[in-house]
Amino acid sequence: MNLGDKIKECRKQAGLSQEQLAERLNVSRQAITKWETNKGIPDIANLIAISDEFGLSLDELIKDDVAVKSKIITDSSAKKWHILMIVYLVAIVAYIVYFVICHKILMIGFLVATLFMLFFELRIFIREKIYRQRKE
């Protein structure tokens, strides 16, 4: 049985409508519909919330669904790449500051592009942290 079928079966056994389950998990009813029809996969925070709601272990919930396992692995590696990219961009900014101080060379275009990318990555990283904290 895939994840969508498990969610639907557990929801019906608990006597909940999609709307009621959505309220309990702090998601939209459309999200529940997507999950139950296998058109979307919940993130790890929602998987934990679903397992808590229905008293299932994560293993019971996702064991037979390869797509869910793949999504969890992809999500965790994406977070690592954001952190790596932020560290890399901070190093570039430090390198530009070094050139300004030691060689009196200001690479304004390179600095602006790097700061823009750094801001963008930080924004993604911070939004993800805030989103996960709201889920908890």
Is-contact 115 93, C-beta < 8 A?
A: yes
Cβ contacts of 36 within 8 Å, gap of 6 or more: 4, 5, 7, 8, 11, 18
Best CA proximity match to 37, nearest among 4, 77, 1, 78: 4
pLDDT given at position 77: 66
pLDDT, one tens digit per residue, over 16-45 is: 999 999 999 999 999 999 999 989 888 888
pLDDT given at position 7: 93
* HSE, side-chain direction, 13 A CA sphere, residue 56: 20
pLDDT, one tens digit per residue, over 58-103 is: 888 887 777 777 777 776 666 778 788 889 999 999 999 999 999 9
Q: Enter the pTM of the model.
A: 0.55
Total residue length of the chain? 136
